[in-house]
Amino acid sequence: MTNPPLIVVSVLALALSALSLSRAPAPAGVDGVRISNFEALLPLGPERFPALPPAPDSRHGANAWLAINERGLNVIRKSEGLRLKSYYLAGQWLIGYGHAGSARQGMTISAEEADDLLERDVKDAEEAVRRLVAIPINENEFSALVSLAYNMGPSAFARTEVLRRLNAGDRKGAADAFRHIIAADIDGERTVLKALKRRRAAERALFLSPPLRA
């Protein structure tokens, strides 16, 4: 039969051994300063984790972190076309995928630089969609709307039937409204353009596609 006093003595001996180890001098660091064995674990609170950046402005909080996906960027790329040498159109110099900001006569860029300019330019359209859409949307709906806003400009996008119907909760009506934004003013006349019909069809298809992540 096990002797209870011996068990108590053994437990006490182990406790004293652990206490002496915890009080032993910490090893010296490279700089000669003694480092606590537990210093790497502290602080233990939420201050250990870096603060998240503030959420972008958004009319509905669920849309605050949405960004255009690759499918949306590809709609813009295919619709705008890639020009690595600057060209003059509608009173301004353009380059890449319709970039105007820094384009100038005689300018040339690489395909990688054109992508960088596109991703920079599309941020204004992303901000407009986040600011104007009043209901939660998924990444494909967001990306299709960004392509539309990029093409029209934020001010024109704000007046579209697409946005009005979407904010009213009519997603099917919003998708159908893409089909009606297919005309532009050419020499003072409102003209339906095949290129816009193709673009709106691609945007509508993306808008209606279920996202990979629910």
Catalytic residues: 80
40/37 Cα distance (integer angstroms): 7
Bridge partners of 155, per DSSP, are none
Handedness of CA 136, 139, 144, 145 (dihedral sign): positive
CA distances from 200 to 8, 37, 175 (A): 82, 62, 10
Report the chain's terminal Cα–Cα distance, integer Å. 64
